[in-house]
Amino acid sequence: MNIDDQLRMKGLASRPVIPGDYGGGQGPRVSAERFVRARLERDKEEAMRDVDRTLEGNARIKVVGIGGGGSNAVNRMIRSKLRGVEFIAINTDLQALAHSEAQTKMNIGKKLTRGLGAGGNPTIGREAAEESQQELSELLQGADMVFLTAGMGGGTGSGAAPVVAEIARNNGALTIGVVTKPFTFEGSRRRAIAEESATTLREKVDTLIIIPNQRLLDVTDKKVPFTEALKIADDVLRQGVQGISDLIVQPGLINLDFADVKAVMSGQGAALMGIGFGSGDQRAADAARDAVASPLLETSIDGARGILFNITGGTDLTLHEVNEAAEIV
């Protein structure tokens, strides 16, 4: 792009600067190129200040997909237009990583796995994350909240997730795990790995939400193809992340900020997630009842010490409906 093009982009008239143009006589010569460079630098500095002002006061949220299952879930979130977060994909499998749509991708354990994956071995996944510990710390630096999403039972997700979680918390981020447990048909070995890795992960995060894939059978039609069932599992992970992040990044009827969410979720251990939908005259109440009785809940919400409650509806949603739903919960 030449100088005239840059001038036109800035809405300026292009003309040479001649002696005496600024004060008459034989004044100093001012080149058009130097003038434009100075103008562009000034505009760049102003733009950066605008960005800083925009970010000031906003929580920085990073969503990290670990392993194949986590990366698939991140892709689903990106396609669903989840806003206000930064997406990161982490994997030991370089080929699988190439299919990720995340803005930032990281191949961990390059020396250990040579980009060929963990082979379903969580020990390899853990050692790969430990090998890349410094790079992971730099990647997560500056985040106020980190969501970790993974499929428990595999090698990379099961092994690397606790390491990544510990790094995120050490960096000062509120760290939330949103993970799945495998279907029964995936075998006893995979289920055993999932149980053990979930126990380890629970000790490393502030809050852990576990979604049992087997329970998705209760909310899907028997004729739903297997590939569609997996997409449903990914979408549940997406809803788990979005249900929390939207409380912070999206304006609501009742204002919540990062400090409110942190107060509820910091150092809480296990958590439960319920999702409900409603329509018609009793839509809000029906959605609340569905959420409380959600098949995704392995145990009752009775005895919960805190709750994050997110209602999404049309512009005609009334305060009375919100209050009715809240009383049910």
Domains defined along the chain, listed by start: 62-271 (3.40.50.1440), 278-329 (no CATH)
| DSSP 8-state secondary structure symbol assigned to residue 296 | T
Closest CA to 138 of 246, 234, 62: 62
First to last CA, the chain: 60
Distance between CA atoms of residues 241 and 82, nearest Å: 9
| Per-residue pLDDT at 297 | 64
Query: Which segments of the chain have a pLDDT < 70?
Result: 1-57, 251-255, 295-300
In the chain, the percentage of residues whose pLDDT exceeds 90 is 42
E strand or H helix at 8: helix 3-10
DSSP letters for 102-161 = -SEEEE--HHHHTTB--TT-HHHHHHHHHHTHHHHHHHHTT-SEEEEEEEBTBSHHHHHH
E strand or H helix at 28: none
C-alpha gyration radius of the chain: 25
Instruction: Show the tokens assigned to 220.
Output: 């899907």
Asked if 96 contacts 108 with a C-beta cutoff of 8 angstroms, the reply is no
Distance between CA atoms of residues 220 and 223, nearest Å: 8
Strands 269-271 and 86-91: unpaired
Alpha-helical (H) ranges within the chain are 3-10, 32-55, 67-79, 94-97, 110-113, 122-131, 133-140, 156-170, 188-202, 226-249, 258-265, 283-292, 319-328
Closest CA to 243 of 220, 285, 277, 273: 273
